[in-house]
Amino acid sequence: MSQQQWIKTTCPYCGTGCGVEAKLNGNAKVEVRGDSSHPANLGLLCSKGAALGDTLSNEGRLRYALVKGHQEPLDKALSYVASRLSQTLGEHGPDSVAFYVSGQLLTEDYYVANKLIKGFLGSANIDSNSRLCMSSAVAGHKRAFGEDVVPGSYEDLEHAELVTLVGSNLAWCHPIVYQRLKRAKLANPKLKVVVIDPRRTDSCDIADLHLAVNGGTDVALFNGLFAYLSEHGKLDQRYLQQHTEGFEPALAAAKQDAAQLSQLAEQCGIEPEALLRFYQMFADTERCVSVFSQGVNQSAQGVDKVNAIINCHLATGKIGKLGASAFSITGQPNAMGGREVGALANLLAGHLDYQPEHLAALEAFWNSPNLARRPGVKAVDMFAKVASGEIKAIWIMGTNPAVSLPESAKVREALLACPLVVVSDCIAQTDTTRYADVLLPAAGWGERDGMVTNSERMLSRQRAFIAPQGDTKPDWYLLSQVAKKMGFAEAFAYQSSAEIFSEHAALSGLLADAKQRKFDISALSGLSKANYDALLPQRWPVNGQAQDTRSLFSDGQFCTASGKAQLIAVNYQASASSCSGDYPLLLNTGRVRDHWHTMTRTGLAAKLSSHISEPMLEINPADAASYGLADGELVVVNSQQGELRVRLKLDSGQKRGHLFMPIHWSKQFSSDGVVSQLVNNIVDPISGQPESKYTAVNLRPWDYASEAVLLSASALSLSQCQALPAKYWVKQKLDDGFIYRLADKQSPQALAAALKAFLLQQGQWQSIDFADPIKQQYRSALVVAGELFASYMVTAKGEINSSAWLESLLQQPMSDNIRRGVLAGTSPAADLGKIVCSCHQVREQTIRDVIDQHDCSSAEQVGSYCKAGTNCGSCVPELKRMIKLSQVS
Ligand SMILES: Nc1nc2c(c(=O)[nH]1)N[C@H]1C(S)=C(S)[C@@H](COP(=O)(O)OP(=O)(O)OC[C@H]3O[C@@H](n4cnc5c(=O)[nH]c(N)nc54)[C@H](O)[C@@H]3O)O[C@H]1N2
Ligand SMILES: Nc1nc2c(c(=O)[nH]1)N[C@H]1C(S)=C(S)[C@@H](COP(=O)(O)OP(=O)(O)OC[C@H]3O[C@@H](n4cnc5c(=O)[nH]c(N)nc54)[C@H](O)[C@@H]3O)O[C@H]1N2
Ligand code: SF4
Ligand SMILES: [Mo]
């Protein structure tokens, strides 16, 4: 492999599945750019994709295997895993072992994990973090279409005249799909966009209508639409007759929820006129696409929500046509691949089900000695069984459940008590690797090779372009070695991902005639390694028949026994976790623009860490006022599951009574940021997906006395600092070090003394100090040989306005400058504020200055002066808000 050539691969983040080109430059740094030949993104990348090179540092990398904390040769560690798994199986049977896997594994890793546990260990206890993500969509698709099929493709957006985003913040979570939508809207002024989301998100920037619904009310809203369509003669009777079943009971149920528009609107928390306007838009537009994501799936009624949406599309025949589709947009880069290989407890493999004919075919195909014959446990139950001791060995790969599962404190306790916890990861220290008896070094993005499938069923290759570090190996290799050591050498003799993919493709053709299965890529089985390596992105099915894969079900033939789609009778139910006197507020959780999940990768990039540098709790200003709380204050938020401290952010885009907190901060980055410790583990009864968007909570002030900003050239273990009893802290990566934000109950003077004592424990440093006891300001720099090691400023609660001068110290080698900085508490460099445009690193103040100086009235104008917003466009909504603000003031 030549290191200097651009290698085509795929972005490892969201389900958009953008094509990326990467290469090593002369300084051993990885450069990336968008792949203009990839059909998903045509060369565009968002801020996270563009910063991929910055996340490939050696920092914190897991390079070698560890058994009980001691480094071991990989082969020895794998032997240990094999013997402990065999022993557990022998003593306690197949139900005592479990694999918890991830939509970030490649298809080949996923396939081998599923084959090993279901086909050879005899247990179906394999579940994926996709349970927390896509499982309601999977179940909804199966109920409606007979198979888990996303009917549409991104091209639908370019052909639609109404795109409704339901519980999807596309602008931040699928930025390149959002850019496609935005461009489509510019090209076709008839295209209307509706956003259904309790929050006013950046996706509302291009919305013609925003329905700020009460959390959890989508079934009622779509039932109302169904009833409206019926009442106004807008159903497609011919389509219903020829291609569907279940119409009458589904409509009757819908009508029960929708007796009166005014009542319905009140239940949904919106104006009747707005609701009516949406209903009219849907009724009067032929080509409608409803894009839905976690605001739909992550609900105790997630599957019903999915079917309530699909019902409206089926009843109007708005499906299976370019520009007309119900479009579940997947979260992770290979969530779809995981569904193909069946690595969820209730799926088998290759879209086969637990039924005798399918089991027999799979058993023969795998030559399986011990095929699991019934579904295993789903994620939340899996960890409950780990806690109760029924599961005694768990292998976690490519996911961080100590942060991402609901009631995360209980998950941590379960892992602590489990006799065997194996974790494969690329990063040595995560909240989950802490609990590992065996840590296996997994090859990461750039080092591994395989297939992913994006939201629109597009298979794309991830290709390696850097050498693996230390003993790191792809997950399929780790799994195959353990399988061999457990006595299954023949079935796991894989030498390459190409061989595994070929087997997976062949399996997808099993029983192809017996069922109208859409997932069939059997034409790709038997690909040579060279052809696999050269494979161009393509959408399934790939079964040797010429067909247009952009819109499936265009012939009105579905995958059910009758060939007809099913309308499902669903009724709105209030959430099981209701807001009441003790917990009057609804906590919603989700994502921010520049971070990915538990930050193990995006947290390494300074570029991505500045847009939002601290976890925050967003609240409507009127709610904050009624609690007597101010913007920027640290507060305590508590639920029945636990409590944490978080910085309050007033945001008029929040609905009254609703709060929002991001999911990204783990214990590696903060003392209190793990929001899942508050989230209840109520799940959808069909899909088992947790209701991550809905937890009843309460709020109160936190009485702290002092705050600090601490700069350090190297990472510090603040959680170990005994002198900080309250220990609120958050860590942020900078280019040359780290910045910590702290708060404490001690006086500023005591906090300053505690910090100094802690820092002096780290080495023999000379300190330069400033103290103003009247103003309660304390500043200090610790220097050795003219080099800054750490510096901090401490003030009373709420008095820290900026940390810019501290950050600027890192770039100054001269101790005189440092001394001046500490004494003055100001920086020679101006405070430019947070980064707004990550791609071009443009900060807030620069943008404000440009707006003022040039009297800008559009984001394009701002971009022409300072480049902000001119690459991925994700910050354009923020630029527009800044322009609006400047016009008001
Ligand atoms: N930047 C970034 N992008 C990502 C990810 C990331 O970590 N960071 N993760 C990826 C993954 S795995 C996923 S699954 C996707 C998720 O992508 P999205 O689903 O778009 O993201 P979320 O922020 O989880 O939630 C979407 C919206 O649902 C709204 N919502 C909450 N409750 C309700 C409700 O009851 N009804 C309705 N209609 N809306 C509601 C929330 O307010 C939120 O704005 O993002 C992917 N892309
Ligand atoms: N409250 C709340 N909770 C949520 C959500 C929410 O909206 N609200 N969203 C849920 C959703 S949709 C999702 S998808 C989950 C995501 O949650 P997680 O899957 O737990 O989050 P990640 O940080 O993506 O974890 C991936 C881990 O895999 C490691 N890794 C990366 N590449 C590889 C590899 O090639 N091999 C191996 N073995 N490891 C690798 C990373 O270092 C990291 O530790 O969170 C869920 N939890
Ligand atoms: S939209 Fe961004 S994060 Fe998602 S695949 Fe494309 S570049 Fe990666
Ligand atoms: Mo997800």
The tokens describing 818, both together, are: 């440092």
- How far is Cα 324 from Cα 155, in angstroms, rounded to an integer? 10
- Partners of 732 in the beta sheet? 739
Cα-to-centroid distance, 879 and ligand 2 (Å): 30
From the CB of 458, is ligand 3 less than 6 Å away? no
Contacts of residue 466, defined as CB under 8 A and 6 or more positions apart, other chains included, come to 3, 24, 30, 56, 446, 447
User: Alpha carbon 524 to chain centroid distance?
Assistant: 30
Look at residue 2 in the predicted model and tell me its pLDDT. 45
From the CB of 49, is ligand 1 less than 6 Å away? no
Contacts of residue 52, defined as CB under 8 A and 6 or more positions apart, other chains included, come to 11, 12, 20, 22, 30, 32, 445
Cα-to-centroid distance, 7 and ligand 4 (Å): 27
Which residue in the block uniquely carries the two structure tokens 């795998």? 366
Counting ligands in written order, the one closest to the CA of 574 is 1
Cα-to-centroid distance, 445 and ligand 1 (Å): 24
Look at residue 814 in the predicted model and tell me its pLDDT. 58
- How far is Cα 446 from Cα 6, in angstroms, rounded to an integer? 12
Among 14, 165, 205, 573, which is best to mutate for testing ligand 1, by the most ligand atoms less than 8 A from CB? 14
Neighbours of 73 (CB within 10 A): 11
Among 8, 9, 10, 11, which is best to mutate for testing ligand 3, by the most ligand atoms less than 8 A from CB? 11
* Nearest atom, ligand 3, residue 40 CA: 6
The tokens describing 576, both together, are: 């099981």
Which residue lies with its CA nearest to atom 33 of ligand 1? Answer: 295
What number does CATH give the domain 135-328? Answer: 3.40.228.10
Q: Are 176 and 593 in contact (CB under 8 A)?
A: no
Domain spanning 66-132+337-449+467-493, CATH architecture: 3-Layer(aba) Sandwich (3.40)
Give whole-number Cα distances, 130 to 102, 225, 333, 481, in Å.
7, 29, 11, 25
Please name the fold of domain 835-888.
Arc Repressor Mutant, subunit A (1.10.10)
Q: Residue 794 belongs to what H/E stretch?
A: strand 787-796
Counting ligands in written order, the one closest to the CA of 603 is 2
From the CB of 683, is ligand 1 less than 6 Å away? no
DSSP code per residue over 642-671:
EEEEEEEEE-TTSPTTEEEEES---TTTBS
- How far is Cα 244 from Cα 140, in angstroms, rounded to an integer? 15
pLDDT along the chain (889 residues), means of 10: 78 98 87 97 95 89 97 98 98 98 98 98 98 97 97 97 98 97 96 98 97 97 98 98 98 95 96 98 98 98 98 98 97 96 94 94 96 97 98 98 97 97 97 98 96 98 94 98 98 97 96 79 95 97 92 95 97 86 96 96 92 96 97 97 97 97 97 96 96 96 95 86 81 92 95 91 84 93 82 92 73 65 67 84 91 94 94 91 86
- Partners of 326 in the beta sheet? 290
- How far is Cα 343 from Cα 129, in angstroms, rounded to an integer? 10
The tokens describing 474, both together, are: 């792809």
Domain 7-55 - what CATH class?
alpha beta
Which residue in the block uniquely carries the two structure tokens 């399918």? 358
Counting ligands in written order, the one closest to the CA of 102 is 2
For the chain, give every domain's residue range.
7-55, 66-132+337-449+467-493, 135-328, 585-701, 706-824, 835-888
Please name the fold of domain 585-701.
Barwin-like endoglucanases (2.40.40)
From the CB of 49, is ligand 3 less than 6 Å away? yes
Look at residue 828 in the predicted model and tell me its pLDDT. 54
From the CB of 488, is ligand 3 less than 6 Å away? no
Contacts of residue 159, defined as CB under 8 A and 6 or more positions apart, other chains included, come to 287, 322, 323
From the CB of 14, is ligand 1 less than 6 Å away? yes
**Which residues have their alpha-adjacent CB atom under 5 A from ion ligand 4?**
133, 331
* Nearest atom, ligand 2, residue 130 CA: 14
- How far is Cα 804 from Cα 826, in angstroms, rounded to an integer? 8
Look at residue 1 in the predicted model and tell me its pLDDT. 43
Look at residue 93 in the predicted model and tell me its pLDDT. 97
Contacts of residue 526, defined as CB under 8 A and 6 or more positions apart, other chains included, come to 502, 505, 506
From the CB of 18, is ligand 3 less than 6 Å away? yes
Cα-to-centroid distance, 342 and ligand 3 (Å): 25
Among 56, 131, 339, 426, which is best to mutate for testing ligand 2, by the most ligand atoms less than 8 A from CB? 426
Fold agreement (585-701, 835-888) = no
Question: CB burial class (10 A; 0-12, 13-18, 19+) of residue 717?
Answer: exposed
Counting ligands in written order, the one closest to the CA of 291 is 1
- The structure's pTM equals 0.96
Q: Residue 32 belongs to what H/E stretch?
A: strand 30-34
* Residue 634 φ then ψ, to 5°: -85, 130
- How far is Cα 138 from Cα 339, in angstroms, rounded to an integer? 8
* Nearest atom, ligand 2, residue 332 CA: 14
Q: Are 113 and 122 in contact (CB under 8 A)?
A: no
- How far is Cα 678 from Cα 645, in angstroms, rounded to an integer? 11
